[in-house]
Amino acid sequence: MTISLTEENYIKAIFYKSNSNNIGVSTNSLSNHLKNKASSVTDMLKKLADKKLIRYKKYKGVLLTLKGEKIAINIIRKHRLWEVFLMEKLNFSWDQVHDIAEQLEHIKSEELIKRLDSFLGKPTLDPHGDPIPDEKGKFNETKSIPLNECKILKEIIFIGVKNHTISFLKYLTSIGLGIGDKFKIEAINDFDNSYQIKVKKNNLVFISNDLASNILIKIKNE
Protein backbone atom coordinates (compact mmCIF):
# COMPACT_ATOMS: atom_id res chain seq x y z
CA MET A 1 0.00 0.00 0.00
CA THR A 2 1.33 3.39 -0.91
CA ILE A 3 0.77 6.37 1.34
CA SER A 4 0.88 9.80 -0.23
CA LEU A 5 2.75 12.74 1.21
CA THR A 6 -0.58 14.35 2.10
CA GLU A 7 -1.76 11.24 3.87
CA GLU A 8 1.49 11.11 5.82
CA ASN A 9 0.93 14.66 6.98
CA TYR A 10 -2.56 13.86 8.19
CA ILE A 11 -1.33 10.79 10.08
CA LYS A 12 1.39 12.83 11.71
CA ALA A 13 -1.09 15.54 12.67
CA ILE A 14 -3.44 12.99 14.22
CA PHE A 15 -0.55 11.53 16.18
CA TYR A 16 0.47 14.92 17.55
CA LYS A 17 -3.10 15.82 18.46
CA SER A 18 -3.77 12.53 20.23
CA ASN A 19 -3.79 12.65 24.00
CA SER A 20 -2.81 9.67 26.10
CA ASN A 21 -6.48 9.39 27.11
CA ASN A 22 -8.34 7.60 24.36
CA ILE A 23 -10.37 10.56 23.14
CA GLY A 24 -10.65 10.94 19.39
CA VAL A 25 -8.99 13.88 17.69
CA SER A 26 -11.60 16.33 16.42
CA THR A 27 -12.00 17.34 12.81
CA ASN A 28 -11.63 20.99 13.76
CA SER A 29 -8.36 20.57 15.61
CA LEU A 30 -6.91 18.83 12.57
CA SER A 31 -8.35 21.53 10.37
CA ASN A 32 -6.56 24.20 12.42
CA HIS A 33 -3.33 22.27 12.68
CA LEU A 34 -3.12 21.47 8.98
CA LYS A 35 -4.59 24.76 7.86
CA ASN A 36 -7.16 22.98 5.72
CA LYS A 37 -10.91 23.43 5.82
CA ALA A 38 -12.85 21.03 8.01
CA SER A 39 -14.63 19.62 4.99
CA SER A 40 -11.31 18.67 3.42
CA VAL A 41 -10.32 16.96 6.64
CA THR A 42 -13.51 14.92 6.65
CA ASP A 43 -12.81 13.75 3.11
CA MET A 44 -9.32 12.62 4.01
CA LEU A 45 -10.45 10.91 7.20
CA LYS A 46 -12.76 8.72 5.15
CA LYS A 47 -9.89 7.78 2.92
CA LEU A 48 -7.56 6.97 5.82
CA ALA A 49 -10.28 4.93 7.47
CA ASP A 50 -10.71 2.91 4.28
CA LYS A 51 -7.01 2.17 4.43
CA LYS A 52 -7.34 1.07 8.07
CA LEU A 53 -4.88 3.68 9.23
CA ILE A 54 -7.38 5.34 11.55
CA ARG A 55 -10.56 4.48 13.41
CA TYR A 56 -13.18 6.99 12.46
CA LYS A 57 -16.82 7.35 13.51
CA LYS A 58 -18.76 10.26 12.04
CA TYR A 59 -18.93 13.23 14.42
CA LYS A 60 -16.87 11.30 16.98
CA GLY A 61 -13.32 12.21 16.12
CA VAL A 62 -10.52 9.94 15.09
CA LEU A 63 -7.83 7.68 16.53
CA LEU A 64 -4.85 6.01 14.88
CA THR A 65 -4.88 2.26 14.45
CA LEU A 66 -1.72 0.38 15.36
CA LYS A 67 -0.78 0.47 11.69
CA GLY A 68 -1.35 4.23 11.55
CA GLU A 69 0.59 4.82 14.73
CA LYS A 70 3.54 2.88 13.39
CA ILE A 71 3.60 5.08 10.33
CA ALA A 72 3.33 8.26 12.40
CA ILE A 73 6.19 7.23 14.66
CA ASN A 74 8.33 6.36 11.68
CA ILE A 75 7.78 9.80 10.18
CA ILE A 76 8.66 11.44 13.47
CA ARG A 77 11.77 9.29 13.70
CA LYS A 78 12.82 10.43 10.24
CA HIS A 79 12.05 14.07 10.98
CA ARG A 80 14.11 14.10 14.15
CA LEU A 81 17.05 12.20 12.69
CA TRP A 82 17.21 14.68 9.83
CA GLU A 83 17.10 17.52 12.34
CA VAL A 84 20.10 16.05 14.10
CA PHE A 85 21.88 15.74 10.76
CA LEU A 86 21.14 19.34 9.85
CA MET A 87 22.43 20.68 13.15
CA GLU A 88 25.33 18.37 13.88
CA LYS A 89 26.70 17.93 10.38
CA LEU A 90 25.57 21.00 8.48
CA ASN A 91 25.71 23.43 11.41
CA PHE A 92 22.22 24.77 11.03
CA SER A 93 20.85 26.52 14.09
CA TRP A 94 17.94 24.88 15.82
CA ASP A 95 15.42 27.42 14.67
CA GLN A 96 16.25 26.72 11.00
CA VAL A 97 15.95 22.96 10.86
CA HIS A 98 12.24 22.34 11.19
CA ASP A 99 11.07 23.39 7.72
CA ILE A 100 13.76 21.42 5.96
CA ALA A 101 13.19 18.33 8.09
CA GLU A 102 9.49 18.68 7.26
CA GLN A 103 10.44 17.91 3.67
CA LEU A 104 13.13 15.33 4.35
CA GLU A 105 10.86 13.26 6.58
CA HIS A 106 8.92 12.12 3.50
CA ILE A 107 11.88 10.61 1.66
CA LYS A 108 11.09 6.94 1.20
CA SER A 109 13.92 4.52 1.97
CA GLU A 110 14.20 2.47 5.11
CA GLU A 111 17.82 1.73 4.28
CA LEU A 112 18.56 5.45 4.14
CA ILE A 113 17.22 6.05 7.63
CA LYS A 114 19.03 3.04 9.00
CA ARG A 115 22.31 4.35 7.65
CA LEU A 116 21.62 7.95 8.64
CA ASP A 117 20.90 6.75 12.16
CA SER A 118 24.25 4.95 12.36
CA PHE A 119 26.06 7.86 10.76
CA LEU A 120 24.72 10.14 13.48
CA GLY A 121 25.61 7.68 16.23
CA LYS A 122 22.07 6.50 16.93
CA PRO A 123 20.99 9.63 18.80
CA THR A 124 18.05 9.39 21.22
CA LEU A 125 17.21 13.09 21.41
CA ASP A 126 16.75 15.62 18.63
CA PRO A 127 18.10 19.19 18.76
CA HIS A 128 14.95 20.40 20.52
CA GLY A 129 15.29 17.78 23.22
CA ASP A 130 12.51 15.61 21.82
CA PRO A 131 13.08 11.86 21.95
CA ILE A 132 13.87 9.98 18.72
CA PRO A 133 12.03 6.66 18.53
CA ASP A 134 14.21 3.66 17.63
CA GLU A 135 13.70 1.35 14.61
CA LYS A 136 11.01 -0.48 16.51
CA GLY A 137 9.18 2.72 17.31
CA LYS A 138 10.11 2.81 20.97
CA PHE A 139 10.66 6.20 22.56
CA ASN A 140 13.45 6.49 25.08
CA GLU A 141 11.49 8.35 27.74
CA THR A 142 13.64 10.92 29.48
CA LYS A 143 11.42 12.13 32.26
CA SER A 144 11.57 15.88 32.10
CA ILE A 145 9.45 18.54 33.81
CA PRO A 146 8.59 22.06 32.78
CA LEU A 147 10.72 24.63 34.60
CA ASN A 148 7.67 26.17 36.29
CA GLU A 149 7.07 22.96 38.21
CA CYS A 150 10.44 23.31 39.85
CA LYS A 151 10.06 25.18 43.11
CA ILE A 152 13.54 24.81 44.52
CA LEU A 153 16.75 26.68 43.88
CA LYS A 154 18.85 24.04 42.20
CA GLU A 155 21.24 23.23 39.42
CA ILE A 156 19.21 22.50 36.34
CA ILE A 157 19.84 20.85 32.97
CA PHE A 158 17.89 22.26 30.04
CA ILE A 159 16.78 19.28 27.99
CA GLY A 160 13.99 20.43 25.71
CA VAL A 161 11.21 22.80 24.74
CA LYS A 162 7.46 22.47 24.61
CA ASN A 163 6.88 25.42 22.32
CA HIS A 164 8.66 24.95 19.00
CA THR A 165 7.99 28.33 17.41
CA ILE A 166 10.95 29.96 15.77
CA SER A 167 10.59 33.15 17.80
CA PHE A 168 10.76 31.19 21.05
CA LEU A 169 13.79 29.23 19.91
CA LYS A 170 15.50 32.42 18.81
CA TYR A 171 14.75 34.02 22.15
CA LEU A 172 16.34 31.14 24.02
CA THR A 173 19.39 31.38 21.83
CA SER A 174 19.58 35.12 22.52
CA ILE A 175 19.76 34.52 26.26
CA GLY A 176 22.46 31.94 25.70
CA LEU A 177 20.36 28.88 26.37
CA GLY A 178 20.87 25.75 24.25
CA ILE A 179 19.89 22.11 24.73
CA GLY A 180 22.08 20.37 27.27
CA ASP A 181 23.10 23.60 28.98
CA LYS A 182 23.24 23.72 32.74
CA PHE A 183 21.88 26.70 34.64
CA LYS A 184 21.01 27.65 38.17
CA ILE A 185 17.74 28.97 39.53
CA GLU A 186 18.75 32.00 41.56
CA ALA A 187 15.32 33.11 42.66
CA ILE A 188 11.63 32.34 42.30
CA ASN A 189 9.42 35.40 42.72
CA ASP A 190 6.33 34.33 44.61
CA PHE A 191 4.20 37.26 43.51
CA ASP A 192 4.09 36.09 39.85
CA ASN A 193 5.96 32.79 39.94
CA SER A 194 8.62 34.14 37.63
CA TYR A 195 12.20 32.90 37.70
CA GLN A 196 15.64 34.40 37.74
CA ILE A 197 18.25 32.06 36.33
CA LYS A 198 21.96 32.27 35.71
CA VAL A 199 23.29 30.64 32.52
CA LYS A 200 27.05 30.06 32.79
CA LYS A 201 28.77 33.33 33.56
CA ASN A 202 26.02 35.39 31.97
CA ASN A 203 24.01 37.93 33.86
CA LEU A 204 20.81 36.98 35.57
CA VAL A 205 17.98 36.31 33.14
CA PHE A 206 14.35 36.91 33.99
CA ILE A 207 11.91 34.16 32.93
CA SER A 208 8.16 34.60 33.24
CA ASN A 209 6.11 31.71 34.52
CA ASP A 210 4.56 31.34 31.09
CA LEU A 211 7.97 31.08 29.51
CA ALA A 212 9.09 28.66 32.21
CA SER A 213 6.20 26.36 31.36
CA ASN A 214 7.70 25.87 27.89
CA ILE A 215 11.19 25.03 29.09
CA LEU A 216 11.70 21.36 29.88
CA ILE A 217 14.34 20.56 32.45
CA LYS A 218 15.89 17.85 34.53
CA ILE A 219 17.18 18.55 38.00
CA LYS A 220 20.87 17.80 38.17
CA ASN A 221 21.80 14.52 39.82
CA GLU A 222 18.35 13.08 39.97
Partner DNA sequence: ATTATTTTTTAGACTCATCTAAATTTATTT
Partner DNA sequence: AAATAAATTTAGATGAGTCTAAAAAATAAT
Query: Where along the sequence are the contacts to DNA (CB under 7 A)?
Result: 4-7, 26-29, 31, 35-47, 56, 58-61
Work out how close the CB of 112 gets to a second copy at its nearest, in angstroms, rounded to a whole number: 6
Q: Is 89 in the site for a second copy (CB under 8 A)?
A: yes
3-class SS letters over 166-193: HHHHHHHHHCCCCCCCEEEEEEEECCCC
23 binds a second copy (CB under 8 A): no
Q: Interface with a second copy includes 46 (CB under 8 A)?
A: no
C-alpha to C-alpha distance for 163 and 214, rounded to whole angstroms: 6
Interface mask toward a second copy for 94-123; x: CB under 8 A: --x--xx--xx--xxx-xx--xx--x----
Q: Any alpha helices (H) in 18-109, and if so which ranges? A: 27-34, 38-50, 66-84, 97-104
Nearer to DNA, 31 or 142 (CB): 31
Q: Least distance in Å: CB of 44 to DNA?
A: 5
Instruction: Verify binding: residue 173, a second copy, rule CB under 8 A.
Output: no
For a second copy, the binding residue among 92, 139, 168, 171 (CB under 8 A) is 92
- For residue 54, give the nearest of 99, 115, 13, 109 by alpha carbon: 13
Closest CA to 52 of 36, 70, 64, 43: 64
